[in-house]
Structure 1
């Protein structure tokens, strides 16, 4: 059999682009901070108009916008810029789906500092820079998270509300563990006027959830339990317990410890609803979920992106009789529904 002839020669382009990938983060963050996307949406679509609108140098605006065009956040035709579909939806402040606030958390100094030390974290098998034990408070980090990351919850919060049968309007008690901004419980409360939510998190973080509950008009049906999810009195008799993006911070024994507390807080027949990045057992697909393990290596002592069989085993060990996996449309995350 003849040896196949390669269709193209190996190129260092992937190596070059990956080593320079931090520039894409910086450029997008600069575009958000200068409000370039909103300015273009408002009609400032040339270099001169954008410079005037943003107060930035015309040369700087030209080079930044051309770079954002190269990476398909903008389009350019005859010297005029326009927004890509994604930028119009997620980066224009006038859009109800605006997500520019995510940059204040995802592109902040702390995760960059952690990843600068990734080699040492690989050697150690856990973070070498951050406070890696997330059973302990880290108010500055999690208050920033609560104030910036809520826009990312819209789709998943609605999906979870459907699993919690919110639209049926039945009286129910919901515990939202590591509530953060509180939007998962708040979404249920908005859809079900007979739902009563208890949000559990560190006290400074719950202050953000209180603001959001008031803004949503459901403050009278949201209660708060400050403290550690591993130590505070969580209450009992809940129909649903929400566990959104919490298990990936911990090792397996710690996850099981938390889930045993959840099992005790639920009424008979109650359900735990978990939102997580859940990779396949090969550890490399789907890409976004699988890659989340690296973030946990850099930021935590022992966290990970666990597979569905791993979650099934952990939750069974905590006393749950059945766990099913549910895919969220247009999301890299999965929801796990566990029955007591």
Structure 2
């Protein structure tokens, strides 16, 4: 009874915070648009100087910076603000790891609408918006490629280094290549590698542009079309399947992986990068919560556990499947061997 008496009284704070969570989204969006984080990185550390740098009111700057401090994006001592370490790395425009531009995709009206109609998606078991997001040459994937590239720079390098440990690759298939960064990172680690990038034709223009800018145009080849239908070729040492399988149900993934298996040479590897929750499907928080993103925005996609990915790969004919040790951004690398 004494232990019960010492417990904190229950409050509706969790409900209040969840219902108002959209405020954090909008505050972060506003801070990125106003360049609040960049202003502080430049030495503007109080509300008055931040306001002047960002062409904002002092009251507005103070209120926004206090809110960002509450949520851990900033720190505050007296009237002076500073950047939290992750904000300094990812939200300062002067940082090579800046990812603020990703809001141009992550906060698009279609993705917001998918979440606004979540009750319908739960009833249906898939997005209430239909399957138009997976239609050929959908412009949303161009926006994805352009906006999300900075988020993948570090992850692509980690993944490429890990894959190089398994031997040199010469012919590489890059599925749903998007911005092309994963294939380009592999090309950096493998001087003789030629990358064959598959995606919709309009999206591949982004990958082509990035490959040229980074000096890999002569080793970067385009295969426009659907990864489920286009002729992939054969004899690949390595296939990159990055953030792709989660858009589809397990039978569809298995059918697709059979195509990849056929395209690989004996002993070839399929490198699958995905959000991989633990078997309990509620940890770690970010990979586990990705299932909700897929429910809201795809007809049948999901975040797959390692066991589920292993089953998909083995049913497709792969002999061995491993979970690579390093964290790759917020994802994990699963390697399937032909």
Into which bin does the TM-score normalised by the smaller protein fall?
A: over 0.9
CA drift of 1:133 comes to 6.1
Give yes or no for contact 1:181–1:208 (8 Å, CA) kept in 2: yes
Counterpart for residue 157 of structure 2? 158
User: In the alignment, what sits opposite 1:205?
Assistant: 203
| Aligned residue among 304, 307, 318 for 2:305 | 307
1:84-233 pair list within 5 angstroms: 84-131=84-131, 134=134, 136-137=135-136, 139-165=138-164, 170=168, 172-233=170-231
Unaligned runs of 5+ in 1: none
Decide whether aligned partners of structure 1 residues 220 and 133 sit closer, same or farther in structure 2, where only a CA change above 3 A counts.
same
Distance 1:211 1:139 in 2: 19
Supply the distance in 2 between the matched residues of 1:208 and 1:166 (Cα, whole angstroms). 29
Q: Structure 1: which 4+ aligned runs deviate by more than 6 Å?
A: none
Are residues 1:328 and 2:309 paired? no
Question: Among 250, 254, 258, which residue is 1:260 paired with?
Answer: 258
CA RMSD of aligned residues (A): 1.8
Matches within 5 A, 1:17-56: 17-56=17-56
Preserved contact between residue 156 and residue 328 of structure 1 (Cα < 8 Å): no
CA distance in 2, matches of 1:281, 1:50: 45
1:132 Cα deviation (Å)? 5.5
1:154 CA displacement: 3.0
TM-score (norm 1): 0.94
- Larger deviation: 171-180 or 147-156? 147-156
Q: Distance in 1 between matches of 2:319 and 2:328?
A: 29
Q: CA 1:107–1:289 in 2, change beyond 3 Å: closer, same or farther?
A: same
Retained in 1: the 8 A contact 2:40–2:50? yes
Matched, 1:58 2:58: yes
Per-residue deviation, 1:106: 1.5
Determine helix, strand or coil for the equivalent of 1:272. strand
Q: How far off its partner does 1:77 sit?
A: 2.6
Mapped contact 1:327–1:333 kept (Cα < 8 A): no
CA pair 307-132 structure 1, distance change in 2 beyond 3 A: farther
Helix, strand or coil at the partner of 2:333: strand
Of 258, 283, 297, which aligns to 2:295? 297
- Secondary structure at the counterpart of residue 191 of structure 2: coil
How far apart are residue 276 of structure 1 and its match? 0.5
Q: CA deviation at 1:152?
A: 1.8
Q: Match of 2:139, SS? A: helix
Q: Answer yes or no: is the 8 Å Cα contact 1:200–1:225 preserved in 2.
A: yes
Q: CA deviation at 1:56?
A: 1.8
Asked if the contact 2:44/2:50 (under 8 Å) is kept, the reply is yes
SS at match of 1:284: coil
User: How has the CA–CA distance of structure 1 residues 286 and 72 changed in structure 2, closer, same or farther, with 3 Å as cutoff?
Assistant: closer
Quick one: distance in 1 between partners of 2:56 and 2:218?
46
Q: Which runs of 5 or more structure 2 residues have no equivalent in the other structure?
A: none
Following TM superposition, by how much is the alpha carbon of 1:308 offset from its aligned partner in structure 2, in angstroms? 1.5
In 1, are the aligned partners of 2:97 and 2:154 still within 8 Å (CA)? no
Paired residues of 1:132 and 1:301 also in contact (CA < 8 A) = no
Alpha-carbon distance, 1:281 to partner: 2.0
C-alpha distance in 2 between matches for 1:74 and 1:280 = 31
Shift of 1:138: 5.1
